[in-house]
Amino acid sequence: MAIFSVYVVNKAGGLIYQYDNYVPRAEVEKTFSFPLDLVLKIHDEKVVVSFGQRDGIRVGHAVLSINGVDVNGKFTAEGKEIQEYLRDPANYPVSIRFGRQKLSSNEKLMLASMFHSLFAIGSQLSPEVGSSGIEMLETDMFKLHCFQTLTGIKFIVLADPRQSGIDALLRKIYEIYSDFALKNPFYSLEMPIRCELFDQNLKSALEIAEKAGTFGPGS
Amino acid sequence: MTVHNLYIFDRNGTCLHYSEWNRKKQAGISKEEEFKLMYGMLFSIRSFVSKMSPLDMKDGFLSFQTSRYKLHYYETPTGIRLVMNTDLSVPNCRETLQQIYSTLYVDLIVKNPLCVLGESLQSELFNSKLDSFIRALPFFSVRAA
């Protein structure tokens, strides 16, 4: 069981804090001989598999490293284009590591504001009177829990579907936000949170929540 | 426990069927607008979820809940999307939606030569069978509606 990540979204839908607590490794390394039996394409400045799913390499996975050296977007470490490099038979056999591409900070920003609008639509399409927005969204791999404060700030936690105690954790994060971000004289409202104490306390709260502990009296 | 409403969309976003049972609040927009909004929301949730997921997913998006209702989602490999809104006490409805697809939609719509696929469903038999199916569900009970 695990807590994957935490997002804090301000009332305008801007991402003001993000923390990846646990990133599961789902990477496959395989040695290929010429010609490569996967079809690759460039998507968002990354080389991703577009056809030829096999041995745990799935469509949508990105090239992460070639011969043990991490790639840099669509270029190899030496600065050559990956697709060009893989077209040359002289470079084979080659060992390529594939995996889910990690979210860039831009993508995280985009996803946070996307959730902000989904939250609003969720409440508009309600068949019942007085509904809030999305509080919990479930998939087979993770559950997303969202807590919106009265002032409109959203705390979002992504966790394993079996993880319990997320509601208490969300309230605890709100408390940590009030104590260490809001009370910090150098913190300006609605702006990204860069407070050391907030980071530290958030991390320990996540640890406690993962061990299914409680946050003591008053929470 | 109750069922509020049910939407069936095809893969192009056309609303094939809509029915409601205990719906207390309308969205405040015309039905066509509401279908578009619902389909658009599901479309975005699908892409949102596939980007957010830390691992590759099998079934993908299953359901979400707000403070007042729960939305259950089921998508077939052909892109038919079934969406059912219930109240919060209803457990996972994946099997129910799958059953609606396999016993009602496939049998009464796909196998019916008079039903044009991709257009809103006119079959009276389907409507009445669906209505009695939903009313027979263990978690369907008409509260003082």
So what's the ipTM on this one?
A: 0.89
A177, pLDDT greater than 90: yes
| Interface touch B53/A125, C-beta < 8 Å | no
Task: Please check the confidence at residue B145 and state whether its pLDDT lies above 80.
Answer: no
The b/e string for B16-36 (b: 16+ C-beta within 10 A; e otherwise) is bbbeebbbebebeeeeeebbe
- Examine the fold and report which residue of A51, A70, A99 is the final residue of a domain before the chain moves on: A99
Cβ contact A146:A156 at 8 Å: yes
**B33-B44-A6 Cα angle (round to 5):** 135
- Whether residue A163 sits in one domain with residue A79: no
Query: From the centroid of its chain, how far is CA A190?
Result: 21
Report the C-alpha gap between B145 and B113 in whole angstroms.
38
pLDDT of A160 strictly over 50: yes
Q: Which two tokens stand for residue A131?
A: 């509904």
Residues 56-75 of chain A whose Cβ lies under 8 A from any Cβ of chain B: 58, 60
- CATH number where A155 lies: 3.30.450.70
Residue contact B65–A136, C-beta within 8 A? yes
The gap from C-alpha A86 to its chain's centroid, in whole angstroms, comes to 30
Specify whether A90 is located in the same domain as A158. no
User: Does the structure show a pLDDT above 70 at B123?
Assistant: yes
- Do both A115 and A186 map to the same domain? yes
Predicted confidence (pLDDT) per residue in B74-108, tens digit: 999 999 999 999 999 998 899 999 999 999 999 99
Token pair belonging to A186: 């150098």
**Region B103-130: what's the mean pLDDT?**
88
Q: B20 — contact with chain A (CB < 8 Å)? A: yes
Q: Is B56 on the interface with A (CB under 8 A)?
A: yes
Please report the pLDDT score of residue B142 as a whole number: 59
Distance CA A99, CA A172 (A): 33
Structure tokens at B120: 């809103």
In a domain, A178, yes or no: yes
CA distance A165 to A184: 28
Select from A105, A114, A138 the residue whose CB has the most chain B CBs within 10 Å, as the one to mutate to test that interface: A138
A115 touches chain B (CB under 8 A): yes
Residue A2 has pLDDT above 80, yes or no: yes
| Total-model pTM | 0.88
Q: Which domain holds residue A110?
A: 3-23+104-212
Give the tens place of pLDDT for each residue, B36-71.
999 999 999 999 999 899 888 888 999 999 999 999
Number of domains in chain A: 2
Q: From the CA of A98, how many Å to the nearest CA of chain B? A: 13
Backbone phi and psi for residue A145, each to the nearest 5 degrees, phi listed first: -110, 135
State the Cα–Cα distance between residues A62 and A64, nearest whole angstrom. 6
Judged by DSSP in three states, A196 sits in helix
Domain spanning B3-135 has what CATH number? 3.30.450.70
Q: Do A12 and A50 belong to one domain?
A: no
pLDDT digits (tens, 9 = 90+) for A45-88: 888 888 988 888 888 888 888 888 888 888 888 888 888 888 88
Q: What is the phi/psi pair of residue A154, to 5°?
A: -110, 130
Phi and psi at A157, nearest 5°, equal -125, 130
What is the share, in percent, of chain A residues with pLDDT greater than 70? 97
A122 to B41: CB separation less than 8 angstroms, yes or no: yes
* Domain map (residue ranges) of chain B: 3-135
